[in-house]
Each structure stands twice: as C-alpha cells, then as structure tokens.
Amino acid sequence: MFKILILSNGHGEDLSGSLIAKEFVKSGYSVHALPIVGMGNHYEKEQIKIIGKTKEFRTGGIGYNSFKGRLTEILGGEIFYVLKKLYLTFKIKKKYDYFFVVGDIVPVFFAWVCKKDFFTYLVAYSSHYEGKLKLPWPSKFFLLSQKAKKIYTRDSLTANDLTLQLKKKVSFLGNPFMDKFFPRNKELNKTEFSIGLFPGSRFPEILDNFVFILEVLEVLSDLRYFQKIQFNFAIVNSLSSLKIKEIFQKRGWFKIENIKDNNLLKFQYKFLEVNIYWNNFDKILLKSRCCISMAGTAAEQAIGLGKPVIQIEGKGPQFTKTFAEAQRRLLGKYVFCATNYKDKNDQINQTIKLIIKTIYLLQLNKKFMISCNENAKKRLGENKACLKMVDDMNIVIKND
C-alpha cells in the first residue's frame, strides 16, 4: 500500500486536499495530511490523520493581503511557523512514497526541498488573472523538476498556458471543491427567491464584513419588495451567536423568537428578515439564486454552480480591494461589484443597484442563466474532479 502525504496551504486548499484524500483512501492508499497554515478542520471532517500541531492565522496565509496583513503575518510568527512546518515535513519525508500538494509555491517548495516525487494541484494560480500566468520565482524551476510527476490546474486556460511555458503536459480535470455540489442546483426551489450572504471565514475580518453586509440590507429594508426575498447568512463557528445577537441589538434589529432550529437565528428590520445559520454553508449556497459575498472559496463555488455573485470590496487583511479585483478576473463577468464610489454610502447604494439588476436578470432574462451556466463550466469545470485526478495519478504511480 502506497503512503501519501497531502500538503495544503490555506482554508480553501484544505477543503480540496481533504476531498482528494477521501478519494485516495477509496483507492486503497494510506493518506495523512499536513496543513501548512490553518487548523485543518476539513481533514478532521473526512477522518484524515493530521501530522503536527495546527494554528489559525488571522490573515489566512500569504497571498493577496494588505500591507497591514503582511505585517500581521510577520509579527504573529507566521513565517517562523511555516519554517517549523518545513522542518517537520523534511523529518518525516521517508515515511511517504509521494506528496500531493495543494495551493501555491509554498507546498511546492516543501516537496522540492524534501526531494520527494510529488503531484500538484495549483489551485492558487490562474492565467485568467493576467492573460498569461506569471508564476512567482522560482516556481517554474520546481515544476520542471523530474520529481513533479503531474501538474493539475484550476481551469483549462491555465493548463494550456502552463503546458506551453513548461513544455510538459499540464492537465485540467475540474476542481475538487465543486464535486459535492453536483448535479447543479438539485436543491433549488423555484417558488422562493433566496439570496446567500457570505461574509467570509477569517476572524476578526468576518466581523467587519458581516456588519458591512448588514448595512447594505438595512438600506434595502426600505423597499417593500424585499419582504418577499429570503436572506440567509452562512456563518462559521468563530463568530458566536452571542456576538451576533449583540451586533443586531446595537443596530436596532428585532429578534424573532420561538425558532425550533438550534442552528438558526432570525432577525427583522422593517420589511426585511434575515436568517443566520451555522455549519450550513452548502445548503444555503445550493438554494440561493444569487449571492452577496466578501469571501474567497464561497464566491468560486457560487460561480461554479452558475449563480451570479454581488461582490463587496472590503478592508482586509485578506478580502481587500486588490483581492476582490483579482477574483473578478478569475471568475468572469458574473461577479458584479461597485468599484468606482466616492464613499461608503455611495458604495452601498451602488451595491443595491447591482442587487436589483441581478434579481431582474434572473427572473426575466432566460439567456442570462444559460450564460451563467456556460461560464461555470468554463471557469470551474465539470463533475468528478477528485475521481479523475486520482485515476490519473494511479496510472503514473503504477507505471513508476
């Protein structure tokens, strides 16, 4: 039985890594995980053994962070923590036959330093960002190594681009984090119009994002039409029900009592009602017709399901103006965002116009939904990405 170590670098990367790990186990492999940044909760959920201690960092990893975010990384000890993880990986490398790396240059570097045969899913990079992928130095050198057995990308444009750049076969077989949502829209109830609200998952940034989305809803509440629409917040455990209640109370929302579901809080402001759910992200996304988002992976999954996204630029450290702009390039024209605003009130008013426009298109323009679904396949791919990747790796391992 071959032993595989999965290295992943971030919350979304852990999700993809855990789903690939589950498929590896089905194929008879022994699999462990080493999440470089983050708690590795997705691995725990899939009962994959985690190697080493884990720690959550406020910025969620090294990437599209603000200057303040990068400073937080250094002062918070993230760089030293990553170096400790590298040492641990090097120390245990002989226990494993292959590494499977998910994310960016960091786990690729880990595999290269350890001189292990590795497969890589470059979920963090896309040619959609700039037209031609500019890999950070010295990624290209690592990926050209004979130790890099197979490279998978997050879209076909990137696969074609890297195949030309590296002069070796690079494949796009879909995105593992989309697998659990297929077949598309299976839980969508056409009789109700539901909007998913995604403030992200990083604490304390999620607090600011949550309040910003509430401010948008408060302005919307003057419009009686939105009484008919169901608004559902997807909240992670780091934002407690006590904190949520405190925020709503300060802002003058009315708590609706006698709710039977323990994972649900319900609040009302003028004509508008909001549902707050914990640990119910997948269900909220599936039933939503569109989403209001200040998140990374959530927006990608929404677009992958053919659901338009109204994006709100945040202050960061992770979901910044820069991150939001990069996300729009990555996911295409069905991520709508107010970008040219004078102040916060103007940003809110422009965002509301986009919400109304999106609802109008969804309800009255059939071609709009067809185009959203075509974009979904182009940007995120088809079903069974995990199975396709593992089957592809099996061929390499058996012939190695």
Cis previous bond, 199, omega within 30? no
Whole-angstrom distance, CA of residue 31 vs CA of residue 102: 14
For residue 301, which amino acid is it? Q
pTM: 0.87
Q: pLDDT, tens digit, for every residue of 171-219?
A: 999 999 999 887 655 555 566 899 999 999 888 889 999 999 999 999 9
Residue, of 354 and 67, whose pLDDT is higher: 354
Q: pLDDT, tens digit, for every residue of 289-330?
A: 999 999 988 999 999 999 999 999 998 888 889 999 999 999
* Residue 69: band (very low, low, confident or very high) from pLDDT cuts 50, 70, 90: very low
Cis previous bond, 204, omega within 30? yes
Report angle CA 186, 187, 191 to the nearest 5 degrees: 115
Whole-angstrom distance, CA of residue 326 vs CA of residue 78: 24
138-159 core/surface letters (b: 16 or more CB in 10 A; e: else):
ebeebbeeebbbbbbbbbbbbb
From the list 85, 84, 111, 113, the residue with the least C-alpha distance to 98 is: 111
